[in-house]
Amino acid sequence: MAQVLIRDVPPEVVERLKVRAQRNRRSLEAELRVIVEKAVEESIEDMLAEVDRVRALFAGRTFGDSAELIREDRER
């Protein structure tokens, strides 16, 4: 498994993370792992929500083949 090193984390942030880890009955390392995993999951969920939003914008619409327009443009 990969390892990640984060430098220059302010001491007050580390302390708050330790408190959070203790509250969740996890080690600091386990708490950080959960935070990183959730951050990745949220970005995927946000991305999928955006895809759904764009699909809804074009729902029911059909689009013609643009190949002929591209050929004409290239011939200029």
What angle do the packed helices 11-23 and 28-57 form, to 10 degrees?
90
Q: How far is C-alpha 64 from the geometric centre of its chain's CA atoms?
A: 33
What value does the mean pLDDT take over residues 2-6? 93
Distance separating alpha carbons of residues 38 and 48, to the nearest angstrom:
15
Whether the pLDDT of residue 76 is over 90: the answer is no
Of 47, 39, 41, 33, nearest to 4 by C-alpha is 33
Distance separating alpha carbons of residues 74 and 68, to the nearest angstrom:
10
Name the average pLDDT for the chain. 93
Whether the pLDDT of residue 51 is over 90: the answer is yes
List, for residues 32-49, the tens digit of each pLDDT value: 999 999 888 878 888 999
Would you say the pTM of this structure is higher than 0.75?
Answer: no
Distance separating alpha carbons of residues 13 and 60, to the nearest angstrom:
50
Show me where the domains of the chain are located. 11-75
Q: Do 26 and 37 meet the contact criterion of CB atoms below 8 Å apart? A: no
